[in-house]
Amino acid sequence: MSALRDTDPALYALLRAEERRQFEQIRLIPSENYTSSAVIEATASVLTNKYSEGYPGKRYYEGQEVVDQVEGLAIERAKALFGAEHANVQPYSGSPANLAVYVALCKPGDTILGLSLPHGGHLTHGWGVSVTGQFYKPERYEVHPDTHRLDYDAIRRKALEVRPRVIVAGATAYPRTIDFEAFGAIAREVGAYLLCDIAHIAGLVVGGVHPSPVPHADVVSTTTHKTLRGPRGGLLLCREAHAKAIDKAVFPGLQGGPHEHTIAGLAVALAEAAQPDFKLYARAIVDNAKALAEALLERGFRLVTGGTDNHLILIDATSKGATGKELSRAMALAGLEANMNTIPFDPRKPFDPSGVRIGTPSVTSRGMGAPEMIAIADFIARSNESRGDPQALERIRLEVAAMCRAFRPPVGAAALYIPGRGAE
């Protein structure tokens, strides 16, 4: 970054500081990951100079002969990787991607049935503070009060009661496998469209460690980072019957010119995810999450649903005498990056909830395996015990930094870094 260093030394210093932070800390936020250098190079390319309003072959600007090929490459790779009939790679992120689905399939005031936010759903699944809960009529289903798992019989009863235009299947804080086939059957029974939001699990889906929603859904939405390890962006997959409506909703409905530099980075990430080793990487994410969950249970933490099937773990911090805010802050001071999170039927407020959400995509990308998951569980337990003791938390932080030095963040073009070996 010599040009940036010379032009803007203040910003250069900040970026270097963030680079060091990502190197020295254990990043456990499940929606974060490390991209490859190839993805970063494509995202930082000259395509950031180009405006390309429209779609390949149907642009409103000249000079699109290269851009059309780049976007076309991303589209074809997305369709092939997910087995979808149609792909739109232009959404700026996951939230406008979901909004585009409602614009395409609904009219204002139509009913959307989604998972309640405190039970693991997302703001854009019809929560009240989101535009999706203001322009459309939101109805919500919840997890079972005893198991905290999705109750498909109860979801079916709710769908029969409210007769939604769209049912949303997907979550942002649900640690178990989602039965998309069951959701598909419910949607067909009530005459609803099915939107499956796989923003968190897209990499697990293409890696073969989570069932795919594509055969059952009308539309699939996802972000392009998280477990997919691409740049920050959005992606829509749909049946050919909905292609025209989806494309029209994205552009000109909600967006102007697409960010072709991000689309180029996505094309690289999709190519990486199509490599055979990516399946091993996806399996390693889940294996690491299971190992970490088991180690936390052994140390007395209560976990929502008692464990995990995917990349994500939801800790009930109150089981160890802390709030989610207290535990996540103590972890941060100890070099462990997580986020406070509500848990199902949480009696506490969102700004001081009972839970902490953690995940394993980033640590898996660094090459960490089962032994490191046990060490991380120890770090979390010790951080909780050391709440209010800055010196003790600083000692843990130094131990965390020492472990991180043995597992460098990925820098090459390869998508996989074998657990236990360290990134090369």
Q: CA-CA distance, 248 to 94, in Å (whole number)?
A: 17
Annotated active-site residue 32? The verdict is no
Annotated active-site residue 244? The verdict is no
The single residue listed with the structure tokens 């939001």 is 197
Which is catalytic among the residues 139, 142, 197, 309? 197
- Judge contact between 388 and 370, C-beta under 8 A: no
Which is catalytic among the residues 12, 32, 41, 51? 51
Q: CA-CA distance, 260 to 255, in Å (whole number)?
A: 13
Which is catalytic among the residues 35, 222, 223, 227? 223
What is the DSSP code (8-state) at residue 143? B
Q: CA-CA distance, 226 to 397, in Å (whole number)?
A: 25
- Judge contact between 332 and 21, C-beta under 8 A: no
Which is catalytic among the residues 156, 232, 248, 408? 232
Annotated active-site residue 53? The verdict is yes
Annotated active-site residue 136? The verdict is no
Q: Per residue, what are the HEC states of 221-268?
A: EEECCHHHCCCCCEEEEECHHHHHHHHHHHHHHHCCCCCHHHHHHHHH
Task: Determine the residue type at 67.
Answer: V
Which is catalytic among the residues 32, 41, 53, 110? 53
Q: CA-CA distance, 158 to 142, in Å (whole number)?
A: 10
| 3-state SS class at 336 | strand
Q: CA-CA distance, 56 to 54, in Å (whole number)?
A: 7
> Crossing angle, helix 180-190 and helix 152-162, to 10 degrees?
20
Which is catalytic among the residues 77, 158, 226, 366? 226
Annotated active-site residue 51? The verdict is yes
Annotated active-site residue 279? The verdict is no
Active site residues: 51, 53, 197, 223, 226, 232
